[in-house]
Amino acid sequence: MSFEPIRRGTAVAALLIAAPFAATAQDFTPETPECIAPANPGGGWDFTCRQVGKTLQDLGLIPSTMQVVNLSGGGGGVAFAEVVNKRNDDDDLIVAASSATATRLAQGAYPGNSMDQVRWLGSIGADYGVVAVAADSEIETLSELLEQVQENPSEVNFGGGSAVGGWDHLKILIAAQEAGVEDVRDVKYIAFAGGGEAVTQLLAGSLQAFTGDLSEAQGFVESGDIKVLAVLAPERLEGDFADIPTAREQGIDAIGANWRGFYAPGEMSDAAYDYWVTQLDTLYDSEEWQAVMEANGLAPLDLHGEEFEAFVADSVANIESLSREIGILQ
């Protein structure tokens, strides 16, 4: 599954950013803005809610602090069901989503639920996948790790923050497939409630490798707890991440980009929907958010409203096809 960064310029961005809070989306103002992160603290969805909430407030794009609620379970399914069944008309609520969300929807892992039961707001960037090991591991390259998998798959446990068959799982299967592993269904993967929990188990010795996103791994890299063997990007990232080799450099043509964005309740009012789409669009075009993206290794992906909904629909279709190809779906 390939990924090309998408960037859409907006001529009015400077005017929107310079305007006071009440100048945009005047028909609606949230009383108690809330973001659900469908995982435990420390993972990518938690990062998305907290960073976006803070920046929205810093820019004056929301009237008060964004409340972040962690609601883990089912690879995002618990949160999805909560929104659809209990909060389907909550205008103050947005929910962090990603390629992992599209993956679970593509595989029918949210029983009775589909992407058209919610409204898709917009993206705030894309997070490239990484494969990492504990800092004291003897393994130095992705090629070396996957050679071990080829020789004895039962001795290598991978862990990530998505469910079995989810995006973190698919990323390592794609890499293993490209590395020549004959039957990728032999690759051992253990699911955790979030990327932070998976890294904790890696450091405890329960796992041999972590598969997740760069934003999830960054703090552990900076603390010296883990080393990233490869980033699943077409070419090396810039800035603080320039030293991380790509899988391609190691002869493994695997690319895994996890888009990050938000959905909202399906019965959200049009005024509220337009408000949140506008605020996220304005956020994305701000210098403040561009700095957050650079600091956290996020690649450009600027889609909002109907464009974003069409993108998610394509993502779901592509992941469904990939899942069938590698045996996750029959």
Burial level of 137, CB count in 10 A (0-12/13-18/19+)?
middle
- What does the pLDDT read at residue 21? 43
Residue 276 reports pLDDT greater than 90: yes
Domain containing residue 40: CATH number = 3.40.190.150
Token pair, residue 303, equals 């889609």
Last residue of a domain, one of 203, 219, 250: 250
Pick the more confident residue, 316 or 239: 316
Token pair, residue 185, equals 């269904």
Residue 17 reports pLDDT greater than 70: no
Q: Is there a single domain that holds both residue 154 and residue 228?
A: yes
Give the DSSP H or E segment for 197. helix 195-204
Give the DSSP H or E segment for 130. strand 118-134
Average pLDDT over residues 74-94: 96
Q: Is there a single domain that holds both residue 111 and residue 47?
A: yes
- What does the pLDDT read at residue 257? 87
Report the alpha-carbon distance of residue 176 to residue 275 in Å, rounded: 43
Domain assignment present for residue 180? The answer is: yes
Last residue of a domain, one of 232, 250, 268: 250
What is the residue type of 117? Answer: Q
How large a percentage of the chain has pLDDT more than 90?
72
Q: Specify whether the backbone of 186 is left (phi greater than 0), alpha (psi in -120 to 50) or beta.
A: alpha
What residues contact 104, with CB distance under 8 A and at least 6 apart? 74, 75, 76, 77, 110, 162, 163, 166
Residue 10 reports pLDDT greater than 50: no
- What does the pLDDT read at residue 42? 84
Tens digits of residue pLDDT in 195-243: 889 999 999 999 999 999 998 888 899 999 999 999 999 999 888 889 9
Tell me if 260 sits within 8 A of 121, measured CB to CB: no
Nearest residue to 131 (alpha-carbon basis) of 5, 252, 37: 252
Token pair, residue 214, equals 């760069």
Q: Is there a single domain that holds both residue 244 and residue 319?
A: no
Q: Is there a single domain that holds both residue 134 and residue 241?
A: yes
Average pLDDT over residues 300-307: 95
Domain assignment present for residue 7? The answer is: no
pTM over 0.85: no
Q: Which domain holds residue 57?
A: 13-127+258-325
- What does the pLDDT read at residue 20? 40
Residue 61 has phi, psi (to 5 degrees) of -90, -10
Q: Is there a single domain that holds both residue 272 and residue 217?
A: no
Report the alpha-carbon distance of residue 317 to residue 320 in Å, rounded: 5
Tell me if 262 sits within 8 A of 94, measured CB to CB: yes
Tens digits of residue pLDDT in 18-55: 334 443 445 899 999 999 999 999 888 999 999 999 99
Tell me if 293 sits within 8 A of 82, measured CB to CB: no
Q: How many CB atoms lie within 10 A of CB 83?
A: 25
Q: Is there a single domain that holds both residue 233 and residue 162?
A: yes
Report the alpha-carbon distance of residue 147 to residue 242 in Å, rounded: 25
- With cut-offs at 50, 70 and 90, classify the pLDDT of residue 293: very high
- With cut-offs at 50, 70 and 90, classify the pLDDT of residue 84: very high
Q: Is there a single domain that holds both residue 283 and residue 203?
A: no
Tell me how many domains the chain contains.
2
- What does the pLDDT read at residue 12? 27
Domain assignment present for residue 3? The answer is: no
- What does the pLDDT read at residue 26? 59
Q: Is there a single domain that holds both residue 141 and residue 55?
A: no
Residue 6 reports pLDDT greater than 50: no
Mean pLDDT of the chain: 89
Q: Is there a single domain that holds both residue 118 and residue 160?
A: no
Pick the more confident residue, 214 or 95: 95
The residue count for the chain? 330
Domain containing residue 232: CATH number = 3.40.190.10
